[in-house]
Amino acid sequence: MIISPFKKKFRVESRDADSKQVLPHHLKTVILFGGIYSIAMQMAILLVPLYAIKLNFPPLSLALLVSLPAILQIIIRMLGGAITNYLGEKKILKISFLCITIAGLVFIVSDSLLYLYLAQLLLSTSRGLFWSTAQTYLSKLPESEGRLNKIFGMFEGITAVGAILGLILAGYFSEWFGISRAFISLIIIGVISYFLTNALPDLPRTEQSKSLSVGLKSLKQVAGHRPIYLACLCAFTAALPLSLVGSFYPVYLNSLGIQEGMIGVIISVKAAGTVTAGFLVARFLDRGRSNLPYMISFILIGSTLILTQMFSSPVILAAIIIFTGLGSGLSSILYQSLTTKFSTVENRGAAMAFTTNFWSLSHLTVPVIFGVITEQMGISLSFVISGISILILGLLGTLLFRWFTGSEA
């Protein structure tokens, strides 16, 4: 009863602006935001530790500077789902871009650890708000109906391209202009994105969704809904390879005697698999049941993690990591589409925030678990144990779908 007026309103707008193709334009704008935002975040990921090193911060301070804001990100994302329902997706996106802009300004004037922490906290707030809000917005657009996997795939692909560009630009900008001036890029991206958001329509909301207390109740409702944890499992597993890129992939490759430059090349090709998942494979996911792509994605990730520790050739390892990226990309698309499937328009923001937090949870826990296993048994067994665990979850795909959802699809 709530969805129908939502569709009706947008269909009228579509007829009024058929020649301008208003809805496709909005879709493309939000998808483009994924790439632009990814550029900013990847630049910050590289520039922040470089800046901390330049300022001669000790290793522990650097580690805390990078890891602690992730906790705030999880908290912001959990509350952000309810706040999104209350304020609407468009306003939340603008707040997220505003946080990037202010963070860029703080980075430029930073000369102490306190300022860097403040900037990092602003970026964490932005991250906690942006991803689940953008995904929620895409899922609510009527143009997305019937082809969510394809649209989320495009979003995933553009995001992966942005990640590659962000890392490349951060390296060159810091070399050409200096590290502190390179942060001006964040300000430019934040300001442009803030004003571009004005071109997006405010999505219709029910009177209930305008209540903050109802938004918080939606979060509780989502947390008690068993099928949503299938999307959470996909989000956690999709983020796992990325967690290793920032931790134990480089450690393992270095242990093989591979030089730093080649390590960067090998790890970066993971994005090629993610882009393939986003632009080529995702369009076929809407044609069948979700359990098959779930199984494929988990089997790809699990088997390639096992294969990784069997080879030392850079070429073979690069090929393996491409398929790891493909599995990760598929799983990322699935968690977004499954979240949409197992939520309603009223609690969609809370649902996206809840499942996306399992992505962040992967970044917090996977390096620690890998570290413990590596210390006790060696790094090769870390890859084997994690790979076998994910492989089993993939092979049990149909049974897991039945248990989580009560059906096979």
Query: Which of 86, 78, 92, 120 is CA-nearest to residue 33?
Result: 92
Band (pLDDT 50/70/90 cuts) for residue 11 is very low
Sole residue written with tokens 């490349």: 168
**pLDDT score recorded for residue 287:** 60
How far is residue 158's CA from residue 32's CA, in Å, rounded to a whole number?
7
Domains observed in the chain = 20-203 (1.20.1250.20), 221-409 (1.20.1250.20)
Q: Are 335 and 355 in contact (CB under 8 A)?
A: yes
More confident residue, 360 or 400: 400
Residue 178 dihedral angles phi and psi, to the nearest 5°: 95, 150
**Does residue 115 surpass a pLDDT of 70?**
yes
**Does residue 33 surpass a pLDDT of 70?**
yes
Sole residue written with tokens 């969609």: 348
Q: Are 364 and 70 in contact (CB under 8 A)?
A: yes
Token representation of residue 112: 């102490």
Query: What size, in residues, is the chain?
Result: 409
Crossing angle for the helix pair 59-67 and 69-87, to the nearest 10 degrees: 20
Lowest mean pLDDT among 3-17, 159-173, 220-234, 244-258: 3-17
Query: Which of 397, 157, 404, 109 is CA-nearest to residue 277?
Result: 157
Residue range 181-186: mean pLDDT, rounded: 86
| CA distances for 374 relative to 68, 244, 247, 264, angstroms | 23, 13, 12, 22
CB neighbour list of residue 37: distance below 8 Å, 6 or more residues apart: 100, 130, 134, 159, 162, 189, 193
Neighbours of 19 (CB within 10 A): 6
Band (pLDDT 50/70/90 cuts) for residue 66 is low
Mean of per-residue pLDDT scores for the chain: 78
Sole residue written with tokens 């330049």: 54
CB neighbour list of residue 309: distance below 8 Å, 6 or more residues apart: 252, 379, 380, 383, 384
How far is residue 207's CA from residue 204's CA, in Å, rounded to a whole number?
10
More confident residue, 193 or 275: 193
**Does residue 394 surpass a pLDDT of 90?**
yes
**Does residue 393 surpass a pLDDT of 90?**
yes
Q: Are 100 and 44 in contact (CB under 8 A)?
A: no
DSSP class of 277 = I
How far is residue 366's CA from residue 240's CA, in Å, rounded to a whole number?
7
Q: Are 193 and 72 in contact (CB under 8 A)?
A: no
Query: Which of 178, 148, 170 is CA-nearest to residue 283?
Result: 148
Q: Where are the alpha helices (DSSP H) in 55-147?
A: 59-67, 69-87, 89-109, 113-140
How far is residue 60's CA from residue 288's CA, in Å, rounded to a whole number?
49
Token representation of residue 348: 């969609």
The per-residue DSSP string of 285-310 comes to: GGGS-THHHHHHHHHHHHHHHHHHTT
| CA 40 and chain centroid, separation | 13
**pLDDT score recorded for residue 154:** 82
More confident residue, 1 or 177: 177
pTM, two decimal places:
0.69
Q: Are 117 and 65 in contact (CB under 8 A)?
A: yes
**Does residue 3 surpass a pLDDT of 70?**
no
Crossing angle for the helix pair 22-54 and 184-196, to the nearest 10 degrees: 160
**pLDDT score recorded for residue 71:** 77
